[in-house]
Structure 1
């Protein structure tokens, strides 16, 4: 039944999703040109709230739980498992107060995707070329510098790729280690994502319907100079205990 309904409802979802991307492209450009970072960021936050709302056209729900008292006066590295592209709009919207930036593939910057490519260009995140380790490290260091200077945050998916069945894959520590070298006072905050993979269990069309996507912020971890490998192993275990 979910798949059958998906053939019908996915069309409405994609139409709304695409319309929002198209509508917000010139608004982003105008706000950035006239007002710079602040107005542009507010527009991006609203855009991602709108994109998240399109999940409901499929009968899906999104719950974001944050019981932690996280600081606003220091950088944060949010570390999450990764299940689908549908992880990203809710994270951007619900973490908006923390100025969370993303690490993206450089190909997305050059593809000319409405709203998305422009935001990647001017939004303050890192656009890395996975085939060029030197470029990737340079971009991460620049991101860490912006985090340190502005008390911004970042979201990292240390699995390196999306989990197609929801099971948590091994976490890689290189990205976190690079950022911590430049920004050692960053707080590590795990986020457990559930059921995002189910939206794309049949592929990009049809999308699944009547799924409940959950995002839960887990207790933060102070790095205290510990090795990144050990920190990521602890965080992987925390997230894996919540996923499934």
Structure 2
């Protein structure tokens, strides 16, 4: 019975999800070209709120726990574990005052209404994982951008979705965070522990697992000053692993 319910509620949500992407794609284009970047950002914020709160259609629930007094007068590098494509929307919505800009694989910049347009217009670091030089150049550009604007970057240092749904995280690769810190030396590094999204869509978009509990926990910031960049990455992963009770895969 539960499996049948998963299929039925997945169909309902995916219809809703497709409509949200298409409608907000049009709104983004209008906002960006007529009203400018700030209007475009507000449309993107609400698109991601609609995506995330739409999960209630599957009986699932989301919980966000933030950190009080995160600075807005300096850049932030948010470092998170990575379970699913659905990790992203609550970060954009709940941390919207920090204007999170993502490190993303370049393939996502085309083909997905709403999402691809935002990646191209937001300043995201669109990296080719087969071209290390290009990837580091893009991440460096993003680091420079957040240093100049006091915005935030979001990076998933596992590099790809992990097996965290079954109790493991991939080791964090330090290169991206190190590059961001070189270009944004004033940045605060803030870990985010994401729980449950891997269970929500373990096999892709269909079927989703109904009645899943998902959470995003923003952990205390790590001051990079006086620490080696590798140590900052290690401390970030340790903080996330401790919060989630996860081991690091060898």
Query: How does 1:67-146 map onto structure 2 within 5 Å?
Result: 67-110=67-110, 112-146=111-145
Q: Structure 2 regions of 5+ residues with no counterpart? A: 246-250
Aligned partner of 2:248 in structure 1 is: none
1:138 deviates by: 1.3
1:65 paired with 2:72, answer: no
TM-score of the superposed pair, with normalisation by structure 2: 0.94
Cα-to-partner distance string for 1:169-211 (whole Å, 9 max, x where unaligned): 2111100100111111100001111111110135432110111
Aligned partner of 1:7 in structure 2 is: 7
Query: How does 1:107-186 map onto structure 2 within 5 Å?
Result: 107-110=107-110, 112-166=111-165, 167-186=168-187
Aligned partner of 1:215 in structure 2 is: 216
1:55 deviates by: 0.8
Structure 2 distance, partners of 1:48, 1:215, is 14
Structure 2 distance, partners of 1:226, 1:243, is 24
Check the 8 A contact 1:164/1:201 in 2, yes or no: no
The DSSP-based 3-state class of the residue aligned with 1:163 is coil
Moved over 4 A (4+): none
The total of aligned residue pairs comes to: 243
The DSSP-based 3-state class of the residue aligned with 2:172 is coil
Deviates more, 1:6-15 or 1:63-72: 63-72
The DSSP-based 3-state class of the residue aligned with 1:10 is helix
Q: Structure 1 regions of 5+ residues with no counterpart? A: none
Check the 8 A contact 1:106/1:127 in 2, yes or no: yes
Structure 2 distance, partners of 1:199, 1:78, is 23
Root-mean-square deviation (CA), in Å? Answer: 1.2
